[in-house]
Amino acid sequence: MTSIFVLEDGLRSVSEALPEELRTQLARLVGERYPVELSADLPALQACLVKQRQAVVFFSAPAAEVLSVMDACRTLMPGVAFVAILQDAQAQDFSVFEMDCHFLPLPLDDFTLLGQLSAAIRQSELLATLADSSQIDEVTNLFNRRYFMQRLSEEISLSRRHLSPFCCVVVGIPLYQMYLDSYGYNFINALLRFLGDRVSGMVRHEDIVARIGDGEIAILLSRSTEKGAKVFTSRMVKGLNASVFKYGAYEEEMLVCAGVAGFPLPEFSGADADTMVRYARHALHQAKTAENPEEKVQLFSEIHPAF
């Protein structure tokens, strides 16, 4: 469902009463079909968009700031459409821009408002569909490697700015090639879907789960220390390895292991997204060779890299 947000701070610069009047007018036009909410400022709006798949945002801003508002929102949620409220004096400012945005002049009559809202909702639905098709792995319905690397890069930037830790976990299937050779791709695809569903059910809402390789599922654990990540990952691996996977006449006990790379690491201050995945994979390879079941989760910081 498409949610509708009214961004208050810019609209108040036009008229103190405009945000509430616009919210009331929108609620009257759409009834209960779409929720209409007020957001005090851009950070509050971004916090709401993280939980959405698609949305329409009504706002007002100087021409020079419109693109920055749109970019700040679409970075978090691609399926968002924008409707900019214009005063007469602003119309000329925007006439030279070719923006992916709908524009509404004041005063707002029901017919024009409903027409622009309908167009924005259709755009939001289209953007969400396009985003899904470019971000989702078709076998597991998890996020794909491209999206995971994008979010990992963003998390590195946030961590450097706010000094907040996070961890990259890569879960692997040691017997992947044997399963493939023995049972074929249909079995492997079903096994990956089973594993992806189980992992997705164990993480927090804000964590990102993606398929990044043939037999590898990655997890971005935001605001997590290495110690906390190892405790969580060990519990997850233990739970996964206690389950049995059945596919037709075939039945196999689950066997997975995991590598964890934490950020920031002072000795690797220049790490980027590719480096973080490489570190987690290096720890995963160590875990695959461990004979002790208690060592099926390895921290990169606790091993001695061979490079």
One-letter amino acid of 169: V
Angle 50-10-37 from CA coordinates, rounded to 5°: 45
| Intrachain domains 3-135 and 145-302 with the same fold | no
- What does residue 83 show for φ and ψ, rounded to 5 degrees? -125, 115
Cβ 52 vs Cβ 4: under 8 Å: no
Hey, which CATH number is domain 3-135, 3.20.20.70, 3.40.50.2300, 3.40.630.10, 3.10.290.10?
3.40.50.2300
Domain boundaries, the chain: 3-135, 145-302
Q: Which residues on neighbouring strands pair with residue 85, listed in sequence order? A: 104
- What does residue 55 show for φ and ψ, rounded to 5 degrees? -160, 160
> Which tens digits make up the pLDDT trace of 208-231?
999 998 899 999 998 899 999 999
pLDDT (0 to 100) of residue 258: 97
CATH number 1.10.287.130 is the correct assignment for the domain at 145-302: no
> Which tens digits make up the pLDDT trace of 61-118?
877 778 888 888 887 777 899 998 876 545 555 554 456 788 888 888 999 899 989 9
Cβ 253 vs Cβ 158: under 8 Å: no
Instruction: Output the CA–CA distances (angstroms, integers) from residue 30 to 2, 11, 110, 221, in the order listed.
Output: 11, 20, 11, 38
pLDDT (0 to 100) of residue 150: 85
